[in-house]
Amino acid sequence: MGAHDFGVPDIEGLAATARGELVREIDAEGVWAAEPVWREAFAAVPRHLFVPYYYAAGADGHERRWGESADPRDRERWVRGAYEDVPLATRLCDGWLLSSSSQPSLMARMLVALGVADGDRVLEIGAGTGYNAALLAHRLGDDDLVTSIDVDPEITESARRHLAAAGYRPAVVTGDGTRGVPARAPFDRIIATCATTGVPRAWVAQCAAGGRILAPVATGLLALAVRGDGCAEGRFLPSAAFFVPLRGPSPQEPPDVTGVPSRALDDELFRFLLELTRGVLGPREAHRVWQRAGMPGRERYGVTVTPDGAWLWLDDREGPWVWPLPV
């Protein structure tokens, strides 16, 4: 029977085709050239099972797409959209994005940067739809090596359902992600899939010596090497990354940018510094630093975490540009 016989789309066939197209698209970017094992994971894990409905952004706002729609054309659009290389909004509240399935190519870049090896125990902060945990479980070949935590019980419950439907059963915990999951520590890798303002000490404490932490901080991706004495250090990756905040939307008063040139405010890299140093540097002072440092890219910023606190630095942890970072 063909895909459209009697008006009923062949969802699994469409999904397999669309998944193959997504993998080839990411492959063309050379994302996993160094770790092709991730290519197989993305080719195998069915993303559409993790987004039974989602909201696609359009000119008139967000359009809800649902896999159980009575209209077969809507179901076909749903499954095809599930495999587009875009983030998919899965929970909205009063216009705020509360949860989403991240852009697959960004997920691939993060998983490669995480440097997962066979046998590693991995903690994911932010369960989302469960799709990222499924990719990790598939890569490691052992569900018990993967732990995912989220503060919202509705998110963790739906993530468990999606994972079970796809044939994966990692540990999904409801709790405060900033505290990690001490009962299942130590971990060899910790990855956050939600934006943070700093690096919680619990993550460093629960990561084994030689481990790695990858977290979106401000609009960058921070990769930390853990020493095992309560200390960790690393730099930001060059690329930008935009994620839902760790504790959901928390609107802040916009900073007073009086005296800062509009061309600087339009520059993504200046806004990155502005967000990193919010509450520490005033906008005009941040602009002076940015200019004197030659308008630095994300990769020039680093972070050092010790039992006494965390510090953000530009170029050199010994200074002259060093600022405290939340933990």
Residue type, 189: R
Please answer whether residues 145 and 171 qualify as being in contact, where contact means their C-beta atoms are separated by less than 8 angstroms: no
Which residue is listed with tokens 């994971």? 41
**Strands lying side by side in the sheet with 96-101:** 61-66, 53-58, 88-93, 96-101
Kindly state the tokens that stand for 253. Answer: 């008063």
What residues have CB less than 8 Å from 163, skipping those under 6 apart?
Answer: 130, 133, 134, 137, 169, 170, 172
Which one of 69, 99, 100, 148 is the catalytic residue? 99
* Torsions phi, psi for 261 (to 5 deg): -55, 140
The answer to whether 202 touches 278, Cβ cutoff 8 Å, is: no
C-alpha to C-alpha distance for 63 and 57, rounded to whole angstroms: 6
Which CA distances in Å does 263 have to 259, 273, 287, 290, 314? 12, 15, 11, 13, 22
Return d(Cα 212, Cα 193) in angstroms, integer.
15
Task: Judge whether 45 and 111 are in contact, CB under 8 Å.
Answer: no
Tokens for 56, please give them.
């696609």
Closest CA to 212 of 187, 241, 178: 187
| Residues in the chain, total | 327
Annotated catalytic residue 99: yes
If you ran DSSP here, which 8-state letter would residue 245 be given?
A: B
Show which residues are catalytic.
99
